[in-house]
């Protein structure tokens, strides 16, 4: 375990300090800010309802449930159980890191941003891949970029992101699978 923690801290330093440059210093705080990505999810909400009618409302409900379940599990169940300090609060490294935003007092493991965004990405991929294949690359790249920004700005370690992404992927996949078992979605994969 100490070797894994050391590797995690080394990877954090490589990203947070080693990749540091003025462009990323400007961009990354925006990418992890909820006001930056909220319009994307608002657009998706309107898109669901406008293009799929009753199914759109169910999509929207399960999209919101996916977010809620993942957010609750990561921030209210796992984080308080693990109690891992954020890098910016870790006395061993906080004086040598590149902190670009306000640190916050919450715990680090897992990253709720990574959990939420990967959950929504996997939900979208599972629901729309047969209808529109580019959704996989777009949604997963989006989730990765938002998650990577968490490391770059100094509030999460890479393992926080990795576990958060795994938790989100599992939740998003399961929520989409549950939705597909409902009456209105049994033929969803056929493209009907």
Distance CA 173, CA 165 (A): 12
Q: In this predicted model, what pLDDT tens digit does every residue of 98-119 receive, in sequence order? A: 888 888 777 889 999 999 999 9
**Arch. (CATH architecture) of 41-190:** Up-down Bundle (1.20)
Residues 6+ apart with CB under 8 A from 167: 70, 73, 74, 78, 110, 115, 118, 119
Structural domain spans, the chain:
41-190
Mean pLDDT across 169-191 = 83
Whether residue 79 contacts residue 109, with contact meaning beta carbons closer than 8 Å, is answered with: yes
Report the percentage of the chain scoring pLDDT > 90: 51
Whether the per-residue pLDDT at 192 is higher than 50: the answer is: no
The pLDDT of residue 189 is 57
Angle in degrees, 0-180, between the axes of helices 112-128 and 135-153, rounded to the nearest 10: 180
Q: What's the average model confidence in pLDDT over 48-74? A: 91
What confidence tens digit (pLDDT) does each residue in 2-24 have?
788 888 888 998 999 888 899 99
């Amino acid at each position: 375990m100490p070797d894994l923690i050391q590797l995690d801290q080394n990877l954090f330093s490589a990203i947070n300090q080693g990749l540091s440059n003025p462009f990323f210093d400007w961009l990354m705080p925006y990418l992890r800010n909820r006001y930056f990505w909220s319009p994307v999810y608002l657009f998706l909400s309107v898109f669901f309802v406008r293009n799929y009618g009753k199914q759109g409302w169910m999509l929207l409900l399960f999209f919101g449930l996916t977010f809620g379940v993942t957010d609750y599990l990561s921030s209210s169940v796992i984080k308080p159980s693990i109690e891992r300090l954020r890098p910016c609060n870790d006395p061993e490294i906080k004086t040598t890191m590149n902190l670009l935003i306000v640190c916050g007092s919450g715990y680090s493991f897992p990253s709720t941003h990574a959990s939420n965004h990967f959950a929504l990405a996997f939900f979208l991929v599972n629901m729309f891949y047969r209808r529109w294949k580019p959704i996989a690359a777009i949604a997963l790249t989006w989730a990765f970029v938002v998650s990577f920004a968490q490391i770059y700005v100094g509030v999460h370690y890479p393992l926080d992101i990795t576990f958060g992404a795994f938790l989100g992927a599992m939740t998003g996949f399961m929520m989409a699978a549950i939705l597909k078992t409902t009456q209105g979605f049994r033929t969803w994969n056929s493209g009907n």
